[in-house]
Amino acid sequence: KDSDIVLKLRPPSVEEAAQLEDRTLISFIYPKQNEDLVKQFQEQKSTVFAMDCIPRTLSRGQTYDALSSQANISGYVSTTSSFNLLCDIWYSNRLFSLSSLSMSSVLCWKQVMNLAVSLQVK
């Protein structure tokens, strides 16, 4: 409720739209399918940017596809998050002795493995 700009991937529900009041929303709105939602935004004097109305080609050399870029980011985040969780489980189960390793070498090893995972995702 403290922010002036709200980012949302899916269209907001009627309840969420009512909470926006006079804030700015950047989301996939689909105005033709959600005319009642658009009217509600107009009555509330909300500023809305419909991501689905942005042309897929902004210029000759630059294409824009928000859903694909969101999918790429979420795939990367889920991969690194799951790797970090596995590392934490591995450390907590003490599958190898941490007493023989310095903390800096453990952190360095974790960063190297994160880099390897991110390269695999690409």
Number of domains in the chain: 2
102 shares a domain with 73: yes
Is 96 inside a domain boundary? yes
Q: What is the pLDDT of residue 53?
A: 83
117 shares a domain with 72: yes
Of 51-55, 61-65, 101-105, 117-121, the range with the highest mean pLDDT is: 51-55
Residues 36-93 have pLDDT tens digits of 999 999 999 889 998 888 776 666 555 566 666 666 666 666 677 777 776 666 565 5
**Which domain, by its residues, includes 30?**
5-53
* Burial profile 21-46: b = 16 or more Cβ within 10 angstroms, e = fewer: eebebbbbbbeeebeebbebbeebeb
Report whether pLDDT(98) > 60.
no
Q: What is the pLDDT of residue 22?
A: 80
Is 27 inside a domain boundary? yes
Residue matched to tokens 């991110």: 118
Q: Is 32 helix (H, G, I), strand (E, B) or coil?
A: coil
Q: What is the pLDDT of residue 81?
A: 74
45 shares a domain with 10: yes
Cβ contact 14:31 at 8 Å: no
Q: What is the pLDDT of residue 33?
A: 92
Average predicted confidence (pLDDT) for the chain:
73
User: From CA 75, how far away is CA 81, in angstroms rounded?
Assistant: 10
107 shares a domain with 86: yes
Pick 23 or 94 by higher pLDDT. Answer: 23
75 shares a domain with 48: no
Is 59 inside a domain boundary? no
72 shares a domain with 44: no
Cβ contact 40:18 at 8 Å: yes
